[in-house]
Amino acid sequence: MRMHNPPHPGGIIKALCLEPLGLTVSHAAEALGVSRKTLSAILNGRAGVSPEMAVRLSMAFGTSSESWLNQQTQYDLWHAEQRRKKLRVAKLVPA
């Protein structure tokens, strides 16, 4: 069962990883080995968590990379489903 309007993983990173540890975006970006701009885009929901970023997050925070990718997939799928009626797709049936 899919969650109703799941949060963007960036918000989860901010609320559950950075804030409890008192980390700034700059410090966290440096620890993750990415630019501040890259991390900021994820935290603010302008970019998604890639497989590589999921691995980086899992290494830094002791979590699983799968959990980060699953959160991103749930977020992306929920938003795609919201646009379902606007998609023009023909149903394919056997001949």
Length of the chain: 95
Q: Give the residue ranges of DSSP H helices in 1-95.
A: 9-12, 19-21, 25-32, 36-43, 51-61, 65-82
Which structural domain, as residue segments, surrounds residue 71?
9-85
Tokens standing for 35?
A: 């630019």
Residue 3: pLDDT band by 50, 70, 90 thresholds?
low
Does any domain span residue 43? Answer: yes
Give me the CATH number covering residue 24: 1.10.260.40
Q: Which of 2-11, 32-41, 78-87 has the lowest mean pLDDT?
A: 2-11
Does any domain span residue 60? Answer: yes
Average pLDDT, rounded, for the chain: 95
Whole-number Å distance between alpha carbons of 7 and 76: 10
Does any domain span residue 90? Answer: no
Residue 4 pLDDT exceeds 90: no
The one-letter amino acid code at 84 reads R
Does any domain span residue 95? Answer: no
- Looking at the 3D structure of the chain, how many domains does it have? 1
Does any domain span residue 94? Answer: no
pLDDT above 70 as % of the chain? 97
Residue 36: pLDDT band by 50, 70, 90 thresholds?
very high
Q: Which of 65, 63, 47 is nearest to 55 (CA)?
A: 65
Residue 63 pLDDT exceeds 80: yes
